[in-house]
Amino acid sequence: MPDIKQQISELRASALKELDGLSQAKELEEWRIGYLGKKSRLTELLRSLASLPIEERRELGQASNVLKTELEAVFKNKEHQLRCGELVAAGEMMDVTLPGRPFPAGHLHPVSQVLSEISDIFAGMGFQVVEGPEVEWDSYNFDALNIPPEHPSRDNMATFWLDSPPKEPEGWRMLLRTHTSPMQVRTMEQVAPPVRIVVPGRVFRYEATDATHLAMFTQIEGLAVDRGISMADLKGTLFEFARRFFGADRAVRFRTDFFPFVEPGAEMAIECAVCRGGGCRLCGGSGWIEILGAGMVHPRVLERAGIDSTVYSGFAFGIGIERIPMLHYGIDDIRLFYSGDLRFLKQF
Ligand code: DAH
């Protein structure tokens, strides 16, 4: 009896092993005849049980039948598998078990990434993120920011004027905003101090395009107005921004500068990442890279927006966005950002 038991388990092992190696329908048929056919070893084995005593016959009979059922099942499976394989190969069936093709997932544009990173830093310092119109009145873009029509700084901001009738009765003319600063005035008109906002957005200048100039680029504006705001708040806030964005190890330089809508005005630069202040091609030999304009909001700007400049004061700043990834990654042509070339965009 142990002999027959052994035979059953050997038979099972060899049947399964052989089946596993089959790849043709013809081989499969041979396997079926060999293991399940009328003259198969299994049939022979079952027949030989007849001569055994009843007890053993029952036990071994059951074991052989279990094996038979199992072999029939694995045969069916294999047959199905081979048949499917043929159909797939012939293009008549799709193999649903294949893993899917990965769907190309996009990501944020590098400029959007920088914008949201900067917005997050200021939001963490209590600034609200707001957006404003890209089509603007000259009144907000210039006049309310203390840039009267004859002011020379209008020349620095070559403007796209819109071909539409002036707003009556004011006579305001429509343009594509040349900076995000008009949102300072729009916000102060709407909300009473304390005001703390950052304004990410696109700006437009009527300029010839080259490696460092675009007719459309991106800025983020900042404004804080409250009682008792001083230059110390301006410096503290912008130094903290630079520390968080560029890292604590980059030195920051602050110098006076002129913008009509601030007094005093300032410019902030950070230590060049490449030469660390020594002077190189990237920073034009100065060791510093200018990243933003800023200043204390001009009293005339506050008054024009309906805020009492004897009670309130504020600071403002404007950051050019494209420059930041350009300097960070050593990108030498600003046009790459808007060329729609995936070879460029996929690197970020
Ligand atoms: N609006 C200026 C520009 O586009 C940048 C700027 C400078 C914004 C100083 C400010 C500021 O808020 O205080 O060149």
User: DSSP states of 284-305 as a string?
Assistant: TTSSEEEEEEEEEEPHHHHHHT
Domain boundary among 25, 56, 90: 90
Residue 102 domain-assigned (yes or no)? no
One-letter amino acid identity for 105? A
One domain, residues 282 and 135: yes
pLDDT value at residue 261? 97
One domain, residues 193 and 341: yes
Residue 163 makes CB contacts below 8 A (sequence gap 6+) with none
- In the reported structure, the alpha carbon of residue 143 is separated from the centroid of ligand 1 by a whole-number distance in angstroms of 14
Q: Which helix (H) or strand (E) holds 314?
A: strand 312-320
Give how many domains the chain has, as a whole number: 2
CA of 257, closest atom in ligand 1: 9
Residue closest via CA to ligand 1's atom 3 equals 179
* Structural tokens at position 324: 């930041």
Contacts of the segment 106-111: beta carbons below 8 A, 24+ positions apart? 107/348, 109/337, 109/345, 109/348, 110/325, 110/337, 110/345, 110/348, 111/218, 111/321, 111/322, 111/325, 111/337
pLDDT value at residue 51? 85
One domain, residues 86 and 123: no
* Residue tagged 């709407």 (tokens): 190
User: Could you tell me the CA-to-CA distances from 43 to 28, 37, 73, 281 in Å, in that order?
Assistant: 18, 7, 17, 88
Domain boundary among 90, 122, 149: 90
CA-to-CA distance for 48 and 50, rounded, in angstroms? 5
One domain, residues 228 and 136: yes
- In the reported structure, the alpha carbon of residue 219 is separated from the centroid of ligand 1 by a whole-number distance in angstroms of 9
One domain, residues 194 and 309: yes
Residue 103 domain-assigned (yes or no)? no
pLDDT value at residue 205? 95
Q: Which of 155, 218, 258, 261 to mutate to test the pocket of ligand 1 (most atoms within 8 A of CB)?
A: 261
Here the CATH number for the domain that contains residue 178 is: 3.30.930.10
CA of 219, closest atom in ligand 1: 4
One domain, residues 236 and 155: yes
pTM of the predicted model as reported, rounded to 2 decimal places: 0.74
Residue 237 domain-assigned (yes or no)? yes
One domain, residues 86 and 178: no
Residue 100 domain-assigned (yes or no)? no
- In the reported structure, the alpha carbon of residue 330 is separated from the centroid of ligand 1 by a whole-number distance in angstroms of 24
One domain, residues 226 and 164: yes
For residue 18, give its domain range: 2-90
- In the reported structure, the alpha carbon of residue 260 is separated from the centroid of ligand 1 by a whole-number distance in angstroms of 9
Q: Which of 147, 155, 179, 184 to mutate to test the pocket of ligand 1 (most atoms within 8 A of CB)?
A: 179
Residue 118 domain-assigned (yes or no)? yes
Residue closest via CA to ligand 1's atom 4 equals 179
CA of 318, closest atom in ligand 1: 8
Residue closest via CA to ligand 1's atom 6 equals 318
Who lines ligand 1 at CB under 6 A? 179, 181, 221, 259, 262, 293-295, 316-318
One domain, residues 23 and 144: no
Taking only the tens place, the pLDDT of each residue in 294-305 is 999 999 999 999
One domain, residues 153 and 296: yes
Residue 96 domain-assigned (yes or no)? no
One domain, residues 156 and 26: no
One domain, residues 42 and 73: yes
Domain boundary among 58, 90, 122: 90
Residue 252 domain-assigned (yes or no)? yes
Residue closest via CA to ligand 1's atom 8 equals 318
CA of 203, closest atom in ligand 1: 4
> Is residue 199 within 8 Å of 183, Cβ to Cβ?
yes
Residue 332 domain-assigned (yes or no)? yes
Length of the chain: 348
Q: What is the pLDDT along the chain (348 residues), one digit of tens a residue?
A: 558 888 888 999 999 999 998 888 899 999 999 999 888 888 888 888 888 888 888 888 888 889 999 999 999 999 998 888 888 888 888 888 889 888 888 999 999 999 999 999 999 999 999 999 999 999 999 999 999 988 887 876 799 999 999 999 999 999 999 999 999 999 999 999 999 999 999 999 998 999 888 999 999 999 999 999 999 999 999 999 999 999 999 999 999 999 999 999 999 999 988 888 898 887 889 999 899 999 999 999 999 999 999 999 999 999 999 998 888 788 889 999 999 999 999 999
- In the reported structure, the alpha carbon of residue 144 is separated from the centroid of ligand 1 by a whole-number distance in angstroms of 14
Residue closest via CA to ligand 1's atom 12 equals 317
CA of 295, closest atom in ligand 1: 13
